[in-house]
Amino acid sequence: MSRYTRARRHLLRQYERAVDRIDEEDRAIFLGHRVEDLSYRQLADRHGVSVAEVEDAMIRSLRVIAHSVDRKNRRWWQFWRL
């Protein structure tokens, strides 16, 4: 296995662990949008929330993923925030 392939697998595992860290409702919305390719309106209808709440859930999900995967490039003030 090449070093490139190992690095890609490691990164994929990091993303999988990051998605596991997202809270249950936000994860369902995130995966609905990214995997099932549902619109925010469809997700809002499915989960009984507003489109704004779907947007907030996506922002929270992406923040968890970004902070989980890119820990070494965080600024000093971001270490105590999630």
Q: With respect to residue 65, please indicate whether it lies within any of the assigned structural domains.
A: yes
CATH classification of the domain holding 44: 1.10.10.10
Q: With respect to residue 82, please indicate whether it lies within any of the assigned structural domains.
A: no
Range of the domain at 55: 3-70
Q: What are phi and psi of 24, to 5 degrees?
A: -55, -50
Q: What is the DSSP letter of 36?
A: S
Interatomic CA distance for residues 48 and 31, integer angstroms: 16
For residue 70, the model assigns a pLDDT of 75
Q: With respect to residue 75, please indicate whether it lies within any of the assigned structural domains.
A: no
For residue 68, the model assigns a pLDDT of 85
Residue stretches of the chain with pLDDT short of 70? 1, 71-82
Interatomic CA distance for residues 16 and 45, integer angstroms: 27
Interatomic CA distance for residues 53 and 58, integer angstroms: 9
Q: With respect to residue 79, please indicate whether it lies within any of the assigned structural domains.
A: no
- Say what the pTM is: 0.79
Interatomic CA distance for residues 63 and 82, integer angstroms: 7
Total domains present in the chain: 1
